Structure 1
């Protein structure tokens, strides 16, 4: 992806993607905790057609939540795999930007004060 002035930006850092994978994994755990909180309702001592219908719906909800947990865990694993692939594909010397013709890491991305001498912090001097 080309950035400002033809600079090719590398994309997300693997560590940032790891953070997303961890959060997605935590969401799966939160969903599973909710599912487990419904478990004691199964043992309610209640005998009637309404109780049987309640238990049937409870079982359906448990299955749906268990499926959601599996799906979110699979998403977390996919995000983690993406982080590993980013890590293995990144050149060891790559900096935050790749400048065409100079190779990875040859020139750092300009800092926040780049162009300050020109009176406009968004422009390069000269």
Structure 2
């Protein structure tokens, strides 16, 4: 077993992006949510949400689709397969960080041994 602590994905780790990805992860694979609905759920400004979605989109974690519903423009957002895998890896790494270790990491001070009285 490696003594190295797991790395947390810096793209997801930013608080706002973590909120976005965790919200999108509750959707079934292939389902989308409208930008205004996501904005409402997260209570983020349109500009702030757009900036974070762009970072996630650049990493391939989300897809933003601009379409029309009738004559009304609509923006839909969904988590990609890569985004789901990255979020699964992120949550596993976080769980590993939070799970107490049974063996101290190498180089760590071991607790003092107590001798049984004879």
* TM-score normalised by structure 2 residue count: 0.30
Larger radius of gyration: 1
Q: Which has the higher helix share?
A: 1
* TM-score normalised by structure 1 residue count: 0.29
